Chain A
Amino acid sequence: MLGTSLSGVLCNVPSKQKNDTNKEAQTKEPGFQQKGWESMFTEAVKYRKLDAHNHVAFAGLSPADVNESCERLGITKAACSFPGGKTPREIRDNNNSVLQAMKAFPDRILGQCFVNPTFRKETLEEIDRCVDQGMVMLGELYTDVKVNDPLFYPVIEKCIGLKIPMMWHGVNLLGNWRKGYGLASPPNSSLPGDFVDIAKRYPEAMIICGHIGGGGNWEYNCRILRDAPTVYLDTSGSITDEGMIDMAIEYIGVDRLLFATDINYETGVGKIMWANLTESDRKKIFFDNFNNLLKKRGNHVN
Chain B
Amino acid sequence: MLIDIHSYIGNWPYRGLRGNTLDAMLARMNRFGVDKAVVANINGIHYVDFQTANEELNAAINSNEVFKNRFIPFATINPILPWWRDSLEICHKKFSMKGIRIYPVYHKYKITEDACIELVKEARDRNMPVSIPMRMSDLREASWLDVQEALTYNDIASLVSKVPDAQYIILDARLTDTQEKTTDQSIKILQNADVLFDTSRGAGVPCKGPNGESLHYLLNTFGAQKLAFGTETPFLDYCSPFIRIAVFKEADEATKDLIWSGNVRRMLKI
Residues of chain A touching chain B, judged by Cβ–Cβ distance below 8 Å, are 6-9, 11, 15, 22, 24-27, 29, 31-38, 40-41, 44, 59, 61, 65-66, 68-69, 72-73, 173-174, 178, 181-183, 215-219, 238-245, 262-267, 269-271, 273-275
Contacts and interface: CB of A to CB of B under 8 A. Distances in A.
A182 B139 contact: yes
Given A8-B28, A271-B239, A24 B1 contact: yes
- Closest 4 pairs between A and B when the two form their complex, measured CB to CB: A270-B240, A263-B209, A69-B205, A274-B237
A280 to B, nearest CB: 19
Contact of A262 (B18, B30, B143, B209): B209
A22 B243 contact: no
Contacts of B16: 243
Interface in B1-57: 1-2, 15-19, 24, 27-28, 30-36
B188 to A, nearest CB: 26
Given A182-B148, A218-B141, 15 more contacts: A7-B19, A7-B238, A8-B24, A25-B35, A35-B2, A41-B246, A72-B204, A174-B140, A174-B141, A238-B212, A265-B203, A267-B237, A270-B241, A270-B243, A273-B243
Contacts of B204: 72, 266
A235 to B, nearest CB: 11
A215 B140 contact: yes
A241 B38 CA distance: 20
A264 B209 contact: yes
Interface residues of B, number: 53
Interface of B: 1-2, 15-19, 24, 27-28, 30-36, 66, 70, 138-144, 148, 203-212, 233-244, 246-247, 249, 261
A40 B32 contact: yes
A38 B33 CA distance: 9
Contacts of A217: 140-141
A26 B237 contact: no
A216 B141 contact: yes
Contacts of B28: 8
Chain A interface mostly: loop
A204 to B, nearest CB: 32
A50 B61 CA distance: 43
B25 to A, nearest CB: 10
A283 B7 CA distance: 30
Nearest to A177: B144
Contact of A266 (B27, B206, B210, B244): B244
Given A219-B15, A265-B203, A240 B240 contact: yes
Contacts of B142: 174, 182
Given A238-B209, A241-B236, A243-B18, A31 B30 contact: yes
A31 B233 CA distance: 20
Contacts of A24: 1, 261
